[in-house]
Chains A and B, each alone.
Chain A
Amino acid sequence: MEKPVHAASDAGAPGIQTRHAAIPAEPRAASEELVPVMQQILENPFLLLFLGVAIPTVVYIVWGVMEIAGIPIAK
Chain B
Amino acid sequence: MSAIMPPAQRVWWKQPLDRAEGAWILIAFAWCMVMFFMMPYWHVYGKQNLSSETYRTTPEQFAKKAQAMVDQHTVRVETEQKIPVVKPPVGSDVYLIARLWQWWPMLELEQGKSYRLHLTAMDYQHGFSLQPENINIQVIPGYEHVVTVTPNRAGTYAILCNEFCGIGHHTMVSRLYVK
Contact = CB atoms under 8 A, between A and B. Distances in A.
Interface stretch (A3-11, A57-65, A66-74): A66-74
Interface string B133-148: 0000000000110000
A35 interface: yes
B12 interface: yes
Contacts of B37: none
Q: Which 4 A-B pairs have the closest CB atoms?
A: A74-B55, A74-B57, A39-B13, A36-B13
Interface in A23-39: 32-33, 35-36, 38-39
A21 interface: yes
Q: Which of A36, A39, A74, A75 has the most CB of B within 10 A?
A: A74
A47 to B, nearest CB: 16
Contact of A74 (B6, B11, B61): B61
Interface of A: 18-21, 32-33, 35-36, 38-39, 71-75
B131 interface: no
A74 B12 contact: no
Contacts of B143: 71
Contacts of A72: 55-56
B104 interface: no
Interface of B: 6, 10-13, 54-57, 61-62, 143-144
A29 to B, nearest CB: 12
A20 B143 CA distance: 61
Nearest to A20: B6
Contacts of A71: 54-56, 143
Contacts of A21: 10
Nearest to B61: A74
Contacts of B57: 73-74
A56 to B, nearest CB: 14
Given A74-B62, A74-B144, A33 B11 contact: yes
A12 B156 CA distance: 75
A39 B11 contact: yes
12 contacts: A21-B10, A32-B10, A33-B10, A35-B10, A35-B11, A35-B13, A36-B13, A39-B11, A71-B54, A71-B56, A73-B55, A74-B55
B71 to A, nearest CB: 19
Contacts of B62: 74
